[in-house]
Chain A
Amino acid sequence: MSVWLVQMFNSLSVSSILLLIALGLAITFGLMNVINMAHGELIMIGAYTAYVMQNLFADYLPASWFGAYFAVAIPAAFCVSFLVGLALEAGLIRFLYGRPLDSLLATWGVGMVLQQLARTIFGAPNVGVKSPEWLNGGLSLGGSVLPYKRLFIIGLVIVTLIAMYLYIYRSAAGRRMRAVMQNRQMAACLGISTRRVDAMTFAIGSGIAGVAGCALSLIGPIGPSLGTYYIVDAFMVVVLGGVGKLLGTVAGALGMGVFNTYFEFWTNASLGKVLVFACIVAFLQWKPQGLVAMRTRSLD
């Protein structure tokens, strides 16, 4: 019983990380039809922001304050990635609307440059982020220990998700965003600046990637190519969940996380991945549009 509980917890933990990464992707893809391959590098930027924050706190502030650095690092990571995303959209992405495959390749190029930049600034080897004292240890539950770090990440994802929900479905900016998503031309005719909505959405997606990077710095060392391997799984979440709806992404991430963990538990890491891939391809036979699809009459 306890094994099952731990596995369930692990799969929740994996899902939460996947969700955090896939959220931004799903929104930019759903809204602008842009595939952002540099998303992984935005995650990396977030992680390095946490690293820089840690060093700043250690160097310039009294030791007793050190534990607070992580609370500062999360909003800082959001802001840095947000700004990078804004610059990226203004300088590159807006030339690529309506060319999703080209956007994929161009952003891959951006990713290469950003990775190399990180390598030049921080060096090629991985660096460690020392997690604050209050996140060490774990919660004992029925004979098994649930690490605080993982619980913290799950909590962080829930908070992010609620914030996203409020922004998209309960705010004026979110309403404009959904309008553009549903019918770009009509929204533009009604006076919505689609340019500004695009820029804002892309930047927010990037900011969330930064938060994800912060979270990843809790569970392992970080390096320039941190994002590359998460990004493929995150894209699978998007494909599985369907684009344009938060619910789809949540369901996709949960599905990926649960299947991944249990398959890996029953077989081994590499076979588990194969099985998950086979399941996704099989699932797409049934629902090629993903779990939750936006209904549309257009034949694209």
Chain B
Amino acid sequence: MLLKNATVRRKIVITLAYAAVVALLACAPMFLSDFRLNLLGKFLAYGVVALGLDLIWGYTGILSLGHGIFFGIGAYCMAMYLKLEATGAGRLPDFMQWSGVTSLPWFWEPFRFFGVALLLSVLLPMLLALLLGFFTFRNRIRGVYFTILTQALVLIVVTLMIGQQAYTGGTNGITGFRHVLGFSLASPSVKNGLYYISAAALVGSFLLCRRLVRGPFGKVLQAVRDGQNRLRFLGYDPAKYQMFVFTVSAGLAGLAGVLFVLQVGIISPSMMDIVPSIEMVLWVAIGGRGSLIGAAAGALLINASKSGLSETYPDFWTFLLGGLFIVVVVFLPKGLFGLLARLGARMKGGLGDAMAGGRGRAVVGEDHR
């Protein structure tokens, strides 16, 4: 009876907390300046990436250092549409003119249409992820081997992007956007709208990921993480689950890229390079892997403190970030969110303590290789 009361109470508290977060997000435009709101919108887009990363790393045990690429491809697809929209019909984007290109390359043509660009910005990352997953997971290439391959993927895509300056804008990337679907990107009301769309995307992605990690499917994912061979002996094919979840995660990163480029107004290879890609993993590590809320909160928290601190103390920020990385990975495998949960449980004592302790230890488990 007591236990049941406690679970009911827990549920009510959690629901209230969710409602509070959503309400806070909805009210943010009322008390934030335009500049801050734009920043927050950008962080929300990062939160979507973090959710996708947590899905594969926290739950399935696949560490990808290549999500910057999926994010970047999504962003580039939308940027190509925005660039063509800003340039106007029958004319070439400025960087193509500078490079001596005389007619629009064929692969730019589909990006004249918003719908196609939006669709491709999610589908292309998914396709790339599916391809990579198909050629690795089926051969049981996993753990660090897979991670290294994703990092190599980042290196070659970025090199390719920089090398093909005439078609991609090179190091400068693509910028100078004006309109989206006829609305001016500079107007405050459009910015407000984009903020709300980002918030909705984050909530939607959260619900999708939660749906995936709960129930039997989520249990299989965690089994892929904790004991792949046992799962195989039970008749499941881990490769299919890995491929699926990696593809979904890449799609989320692509979506985040769209939201990013709409609000920030520029995308360049330096935003999808090795360092940004690994920073994305850092958000999840610090926020709390294996907890969706933790991952999204980590992205918001780290980026907020980054924009606050790195402007005034850029050197100190790098030391802090590197140090945080070490401390969190070594001492807090479940991140700050795991720490909070443990502290909360300790205060209640008794049953809750034992549960949280047990869960904390389970994540450290051996089969992360």
Contacts and interface: CB of A to CB of B under 8 A. Distances in A.
B315 A101 contact: no
B274 A33 contact: no
Contacts of B278: 105, 108
Contacts of B285: 105
A33 B144 CA distance: 9
Contacts of B281: 105
A285 interface: yes
Given A100-B368, A108-B325, A273 B136 contact: no
A153 to B, nearest CB: 23
Contacts of B366: 98
A116 B139 contact: no
Interface string B329-358: 110010000000000000000000000000
A232 B274 contact: yes
A284 interface: yes
Interface residues of A, number: 46
Query: Of B132, B319, B329, B364, which is in contact with the most chain A CB atoms at under 10 Å from its CB?
Result: B329
- By size class, the interface of chain B is 35 or more
A35 B143 CA distance: 11
A239 B329 contact: no
A95 B330 contact: yes
A109 B322 contact: yes
Query: Of B152, B285, B369, which is in contact with the most chain A CB atoms at under 10 Å from its CB?
Result: B152
A113 interface: yes
Interface string B137-174: 00111011101110111011001101110000000000
A92 B330 contact: yes
Nearest to A29: B144
Contacts of A284: 135-136, 139, 141
A281 B159 contact: no
B316 to A, nearest CB: 9
Interface in A242-275: 268-271, 273-274
A96 B369 CA distance: 12
Given A120-B315, A281-B149, A101 B322 contact: no
A288 B141 contact: yes
A194 interface: no
B319 A102 contact: no
A101 B155 contact: no
A277 B153 contact: yes
B324 interface: yes
A273 B162 CA distance: 13
A274 B156 contact: yes
Contact of A106 (B164, B319, B329): B329
A111 B329 CA distance: 14
A111 B147 CA distance: 17
Contact of A116 (B160, B282, B319, B364): B319
Query: Of A33, A119, A273, A299, which is in contact with the most chain B CB atoms at under 10 Å from its CB?
Result: A273
Contact of A288 (B139, B162, B164, B318): B139
B135 A100 contact: no
Interface in A99-137: 99-102, 104-106, 108-113, 115-116, 119-120
A228 B274 contact: yes
Nearest to B327: A109
B139 A285 contact: yes
A23 B1 CA distance: 62
A300 interface: yes
Given A101-B144, A109-B324, A284-B141, A270 B159 contact: yes
B270 to A, nearest CB: 13
B323 interface: yes
B326 interface: yes
A120 B317 CA distance: 13
A59 B326 CA distance: 38
A57 interface: no
B50 interface: no
B368 A102 contact: yes
7 contacts: A98-B369, A99-B364, A112-B322, A232-B152, A280-B149, A285-B135, A288-B141
Interface of B: 63, 132, 135-136, 139-141, 143-145, 147-149, 151-153, 155-156, 159-160, 162-164, 229, 274-275, 278, 281-282, 285, 315, 318-319, 321-326, 329-330, 333, 364, 366, 368-369
List of 8 A-B pairs having minimum Cβ-Cβ separation, nearest first: A109-B325, A270-B163, A112-B322, A113-B322, A109-B326, A116-B318, A106-B329, A288-B139
Given A35-B147, A105-B282, 20 more contacts: A92-B330, A100-B143, A101-B143, A104-B144, A104-B147, A105-B329, A106-B330, A109-B321, A109-B326, A109-B329, A110-B322, A113-B319, A113-B323, A116-B319, A228-B274, A235-B151, A236-B148, A239-B149, A271-B160, A288-B141
